[in-house]
A and B are shown apart, each in its own frame.
Chain A
Amino acid sequence: MTPQTDPQSSVPPHGTEPAPTNLTAARVRLALRGFREGWSIFVESRIGVIGLAVIIIFALMAISHPILMATIWDEATYDPVTGYAFDQIEQPAPPSWAHPLGTDPLGRDVLSQLLSSTASEFILGIVAALVTVSIATMVGAVAAYYGGIVDTLLMRLADLVVSLPGLSLLIVLSALFDLNLFMLALLIGVLGGFGGSAIIFKSQALSVSVKPYIEAARVAGGGRLHIILVHIVPNLLPLSFLYMMFTVTGAIFSEAVLSYFGLLNIRMSWGIMIHTASTAGYLLGGTKYWWLIVPAGASITLLCSTFYLVGRALDEVANPRLRRR
């Protein structure tokens, strides 16, 4: 493929890369190099590493639940919804060796509830984030590149969605319809994608779409789809990753609130755990029944803030002006 490679080319002046022979291999190498550079910036900011570590711990918790259920926990006692701790005399029981975080007012193991909810929180957050960012990226790119009436319609729609009080709307919708976790994720994603994120993505896409390289691509013969997908969207990707992190935070928080009001058709979640404690009258019991509230509440707070921290660290990778060097 490279018959005319001259002897000079085997000695690259910068000594970083050997002469590429294969297009795909070269692209893979470039992607790896870009990832390494981004990673080194990410590692430099401590908050990102701390956040990532906490996320990994939560991920391990999510994985550990099915393993524990299959090995040492029997289903009759430890099932997060239908189990009952027959070994305890009164419910809720405080932490013990058999139940490290105690049991809830219905005699169910709190640790089992906490671990089994983790996976669904992750799924909720990631689905909501992917939907938000995909919609917002396309809406922003299309509005910025086409301009005119398309831009006006999409942006006024965004204004409309932003002006709706999100959580109240979700409460109304979940009261009217039988929402499960996946539908909630889609709903949060659509509201976010057409709302505030769309406006931010559009402003970013606008600053990209007036660059001369967009005109150069048009002179090269590129169509609208080519320009949007090849030139505008890739330049929005850093922002996309950032917004994914922030959307995860918002989604987990919304789910907790809706579950607390008992408005979601979900088997178990951190919000439902607090809901259970609240409806049984233990929420105002002070610190005496702390194991009913603290594990779930702390998990919600920690996971939300963690995704936010990772988002901030990714912001530094994507946005060189925030770097301290």
Chain B
Amino acid sequence: MTVSSGLPDIPSAAGSPTPLVRVESLTKLFPMSRGLFRRPSAHIHAVDDVSFELFEGESFGLVGESGCGKTTIGKLLVKLMEPTGGRILFQDDRDTAGGQTLTDIVDTSGKDLKEFRRKAQMIFQDPYESMNPRRTIFDTIAEPLSVQGIGSPPERMDKVRDLLELVGLTPASTMLFRYPHELSGGQRQRVAIARALVVEPTFVVADEPTSMLDVSFSTSIMHLMSGLARQLGVTYLYITHDLAVARYMCQRIAVMYLGKIVELAETEELLSNPLHPYTRALLSAVPSPDPAHQRDPVNILGDVSAPVNPHPRCRFHDRCPMAAPQCYVESHPPMEDHGGGHLVACYRV
């Protein structure tokens, strides 16, 4: 296993020289087509001009409500989808001697794509549907090895055993030839983690891996994942709708709203000093276990709208409690640094 120098305490935007992943104005539009020969009448702007960077060894949280494009970003980063626009730059470890270079993975294919599949993996949300019911646990975990031709069958067997031990499914030999339906949700998600880690990736997209589990399971899965990140030096893009989960797992958090990142900061900074009205509203909705805790209630208006051919003005303007005439006139606000890498997209802060 590749073990990095260790997890940096709180990697700041200015701290690391080269990011592991740099996303530049990433855009994904889904056409709303009506039949084969008709032109799409409208586009859903699932991800709209999003830029951020991930540094080696950090866990980067992507938070937002359903349908805001978090999962789409995750799928774009592991090349399950092709972006409509923008670049995804991935650290190229072919010349580690000098300064590391970044390569655009958007157009990779063939051999380079196979190479990329070894470095970037994904853990899926639904542990019940993310495994082929007709394949055993061994087949499921060993699949990345077998399709990429890594190791001989006995070596794969040893590797799968090691990983089962690592994710806490012991004794491993009794698990190897079970079917997914014989396992509980928590156990399945451990198998999914083992499958993602079997090729020793540097980057893992975790798409709400605990949202479908019982609370007791989800805590242990989060514990396992953060432990593995430290142990193996894995960088996570952790997608969640739960700020409490993001706080536990992530060093930095980006808040998304309708395909845009509206606020990005280090976890404690974001939680203690939220600047964007949407972030404030999200935080006010998180229940606090401290009865003496006082937080200003933030009322946002209306309901979330669909990002179908959105107006170029601020995405949040129609729900924003502090919207000004400027917000209606000008285009979506750019991300501005409000000190220490705390980026906010709002004219009013």
Q: Is the CB of B114 within 8 A of A221?
A: yes
Q: How far is it, in angstroms, between the C-alpha of A6 and the C-alpha of B171 when the chains are bound?
A: 8
Chain B residue numbers with a CB within 8 Å of A152 are 36
Q: Is the CB of B147 within 8 A of A219?
A: no
User: Does A216 count as interface, using CB distance less than 8 angstroms?
Assistant: yes
Q: Is the CB of A211 within 8 A of B129?
A: yes
Binding site secondary structure of chain A: helix
Q: Is the CB of B131 within 8 A of A216?
A: yes
Q: Is the CB of A219 within 8 A of B157?
A: no
Among residues of B, the one whose C-beta sits closest to the C-beta of A30 is: B177
Chain B residue numbers with a CB within 8 Å of A19 are 171, 173-174
Q: Is the CB of A1 within 8 A of B154?
A: yes
User: Does B42 count as interface, using CB distance less than 8 angstroms?
Assistant: no
Q: Is the CB of A215 within 8 A of B132?
A: no
In the complex, which residues 112-168 of chain B have their Cβ closer than 8 Å to any Cβ of chain A?
113-114, 117-118, 120-122, 124-126, 129-136, 143-144, 147-148, 153-154, 157-158, 161
Stretch among A9-17, A73-81, A94-102 lining the B interface: A9-17
Chain A residue numbers with a CB within 8 Å of B213 are none
Minimal beta-carbon separation of B182 from chain A (angstroms): 8
Chain B residue numbers with a CB within 8 Å of A285 are none
Number of cross-chain contacts by CB at 8 Å: 98
In the complex, which residues 263-295 of chain B have their Cβ closer than 8 Å to any Cβ of chain A?
none
Q: Is the CB of B174 within 8 A of A222?
A: no
User: Does A235 count as interface, using CB distance less than 8 angstroms?
Assistant: yes
| Count of chain B residues with a beta carbon within 8 Å of a chain A beta carbon | 42
User: Does B170 count as interface, using CB distance less than 8 angstroms?
Assistant: yes
Q: Is the CB of A235 within 8 A of B134?
A: yes
Contacts A23-B157, A213-B132, A231-B132 given; indicate if A218 touches B195 (C-beta within 8 A): no
Q: Is the CB of B195 within 8 A of A12?
A: no
Q: How far is it, in angstroms, between the C-alpha of A191 and the C-alpha of B15 when the chains are bound?
A: 67
Among residues of A, the one whose C-beta sits closest to the C-beta of B128 is: A212
Q: Is the CB of A219 within 8 A of B134?
A: no
User: Does A38 count as interface, using CB distance less than 8 angstroms?
Assistant: no
Q: Is the CB of A221 within 8 A of B147?
A: yes
Q: Is the CB of B174 within 8 A of A219?
A: no
Chain A residue numbers with a CB within 8 Å of B173 are 2, 5, 9, 19-20
Q: How far is it, in angstroms, between the C-alpha of A322 and the C-alpha of B147 when the chains are bound?
A: 36
Q: How far is it, in angstroms, between the C-alpha of A241 and the C-alpha of B43 when the chains are bound?
A: 42
What per-residue 1/0 map shows which CB atoms of A190-217 lie under 8 Å from chain B? 0000000000000000000001110111
Q: Is the CB of B124 within 8 A of A220?
A: no
Of B75, B153, B170, the residue contacting A23 (CB under 8 A) is B153
Q: Is the CB of A213 within 8 A of B129?
A: yes
Minimal beta-carbon separation of A150 from chain B (angstroms): 12
Chain B residue numbers with a CB within 8 Å of A27 are 177
Of B78, B135, B154, B171, the residue contacting A219 (CB under 8 A) is B78
User: Does B80 count as interface, using CB distance less than 8 angstroms?
Assistant: yes
Q: Is the CB of B124 within 8 A of A215?
A: yes
User: Does A168 count as interface, using CB distance less than 8 angstroms?
Assistant: no
Q: How far is it, in angstroms, between the C-alpha of A26 and the C-alpha of B143 when the chains are bound?
A: 17
User: Does B29 count as interface, using CB distance less than 8 angstroms?
Assistant: no
User: Does A165 count as interface, using CB distance less than 8 angstroms?
Assistant: no
Q: Is the CB of B130 within 8 A of A219?
A: no
Q: Is the CB of B177 within 8 A of A20?
A: yes
Q: How far is it, in angstroms, between the C-alpha of A287 and the C-alpha of B113 when the chains are bound?
A: 75
Q: How far is it, in angstroms, between the C-alpha of A4 and the C-alpha of B195 when the chains are bound?
A: 20
Q: Which B residues fall within an 8 A CB radius of A? A: 36, 75, 78, 80, 113-114, 117-118, 120-122, 124-126, 129-136, 143-144, 147-148, 153-154, 157-158, 161, 170-174, 176-177, 192, 195-196, 199
